[in-house]
Structure formats: C-alpha cells, structure tokens
Amino acid sequence: MRRTTVLRNGLSAILLLGAWAAAGIAPASAADAPSTASASRTTSGFTPASTAKAPASAGLLSAMQKDLGLTASQAKARLAAERTATAVQGKARRAAGPSYGGSWFDPATGRLTVAVTSDEKAGAVRATGAAVRLVAHSARQLDAAKAQLDALSAPAGVAGWHVDPKASRVVVNVVASSEDDNDVRAFVERARKAGPVLVRRTSEAPKTFSAGTVGGDPYYTGNVRCSIGFSVYGGFVTAGHCGQAGAGVSGWDGSYIGNFQGSSFPGDDYAWVSVGNGWWTVPVVLGWGTVSDQLVRGSAEAPIGASICRSGSTSHWHCGNVLATNETVNYSQGAVYQMTKTSVCAEPGDSGGSFISGDQAQGVTSGGWGNCSSGGETWHQPINEILNRYGLTLHTA
C-alpha cells in the first residue's frame, strides 16, 4: 500500500510511545482476556490524544458526552467505575458459585450488581465490592433455557433472544408488526415451555450493515464494502458476512491487502483477513477526525450497562450502552449466537467495525436496526471468541 514518509514516521513515533506507556505488558491474546479502517488514510497519521494510560482519549470522552448526555467529568468517572466493575465481575461470579444469576453495571450507582438465587452467598459477593440482588433463576438455568430456544427454527418476525439477568428471564424480542403472526405465536409458545420467558417488542427486524461499493474509507471484497475491526498479528478481524474464506480484499486506495483466511456466517459472524503487500497493522481505532484516534490496550469484556463506542467507515464514531450479552440474533440469512447487544447506532458499510469500551476491544459490528439519524440498536460479535477461534493475538499498544 502506498504511504507517505510523514505517515510512516508518525506511526512509528506513536507505536514507540505506546510501548513506553505499556512497558512490560505483553500483547493481549484470547487467553488473557473488530468499524474502522486498517491503516487508513489520514492527513496527519494516527493521532491519539495521548499515549499515556489515560481513562480515554479526549475524542472518545467527547463522543460519550454527545451520545450519552454526560459532562466531561461524568464521562471520566463512568469509565473509572466501569473499569472497576469489569475487574470485579469475575471475582464476584466465583464468590456466588452455583447461585450466580448474572451481573450488570448500574450507571446510577457506578457499581456492578450481581444477581444470586441464595442469600447464603450474598455476603461473599458483597465482599468483592459488588452490590447484590436476589433473583428466582440462576444463570445456569437461564442459559439452559436459552439453549433450548437456540435449537428451534425461528420465523422472521422473531428478532432474537437473550438472557436478561435483571429480569431473571430469557427475553424474546418480537417485531411489533409480526406479533400476531401464527408462526411467531407458535415460536413464543414453544419458548415459554423451555423456561422463564419474557416477550418484548422491537420496532424492526435485525439486518447486517454491509453495503455496496460507495465512497468513503472502507475495505472492499467484490462489490461489498465493510469496515475493519481490530488489528491482530498477521492481519485484522472483521464480520463474517463481509466475505468468504479465500476472497480477496482491497483497501481504500484499491490496492490489494490480503485474503479472508477464515470466515463464519451465520451461526457466528466473524472473520479474519491476512495483511501484506505493504499494508501493516496498528493497535488503533480511528476517530475519523471527529474524535481522536484511540489506542487499543486489551480485550477485557465490559459488563451489561457499561458504556461502549463504535467506529465504522460510514457513520464514524457513536456511543451507547451494553444492553445484553449472549443474545441469539435471527437474521434473514439465519441465526447468529452469543452476540452482544448495544444501544449504539450503525449504518450500511459499518459491518465489521470496532466496538471499544475505554481502551478495551469488545467486538466487531455485525448488524442491527435503525440508523444514526433516528437511532437504533446494534449487535457485535465478541472479540475474544474470534481470537480463540482462529488462535489470533490482538495487536495492543
């Protein structure tokens, strides 16, 4: 890929400073624990606001203020609280044992709340720093009920389903215009027999966010435009519906990048692409000049309720909250499992792009409904599953 000396020098300086900031920290791998464009063109190179280990770049904080209605100090405080919650959730789950019913971050209190089915474990969970809520069903029971739904064939009017730890139910999302459809009614009836189910309405059916060839700063495979997720050593990860294994990929300037080395869709929605021919990988999520570019330092999974931002080649930067995890999404092409739902908007061409919480990679954009003018919801494929599936190592600063 053609690049100027200025861009190459700027990139080298940032990677060096990033190495100083994270001295002694090994690259994040799947065991330790993607839409932007990889090595995309900019006028001034990759420009994070700071390579020091700050809560987030000034641009990301600005996006959180705009999309979440926060002040600058509130955005910083929320990120700090979310980092604490992320660190606590594993310890709290172990403390809860078999009575664990799920967990979520509560923005109002700034704490992680852990659901338990027995008061006997409440003290041990509180000792980790988490709040406690008594619920009727354990996470194991809810996951088992959801697994039975995953084995069913869902009609188009059923948007998807996920475990909601707050409600202690499996939530089935039904498209409002299809709720009286006989096939939808039959699916809901079968779902209720599987376990505790709550039916909620959604305004639209989910769709993927790939697009035909248009202008912008994308990557292309055939006549499809998608967005690069996160750099890994040897390439980048993206959405599986963007291309099949073996398909060639070209960059924003039309030059050859590499090929899809692995791809899965439906069932999953992830893929990885090899990088060569003068292209290189960097641990950066682009801000598109709207916000500062953000360095990636790991892939710790943010809890339900945490803030999360997305970068894509069509709609650029937008932020929202994590709404659900382990959701089954029923696209027209087939169901995709173990997805994370967010309140962040997206548009065609954003598929494959980066979901990031603070400086932690979360996943690659899969699909959703709505747009960034009227709002909507999106789903992403969690990054650690992709790294584990293909034995990849996330490129971190």
Pick the catalytic residue from 162, 241, 316, 318: 241
Look at the alpha carbons of 152, 390, 397, 6 in this order and tell me if their dihedral is positive or negative. Answer: negative
Alpha-carbon torsion (55, 57, 60, 65), positive or negative: positive
**Chain position carrying tokens 């987030």:** 56
Please pick, among 164, 217, 269, 359, the residue that the annotation labels catalytic.
269
Place of tokens 């650029």: 316
Q: ∠ CA 75-76-77 to the nearest 5 degrees?
A: 90
Q: Which of 99, 351, 354, 357 is catalytic?
A: 351
Crossing angle, helix 182-194 and helix 139-150, to 10 degrees? Answer: 140
Do residues 353 and 313 touch, judged by C-beta distance below 8 A?
A: yes
Active site residue 351: yes
Q: Please state, as a whole number, how many other Cβ atoms lie within 10 Å of the Cβ of residue 165.
A: 24
Between CA 362 and CA 341 the distance in angstroms is 11
Amino acid at 70: L
Task: Compute how many other C-beta atoms are within 10 angstroms of the C-beta atom of residue 347.
Answer: 21
Q: Which residues are catalytic?
A: 241, 269, 351
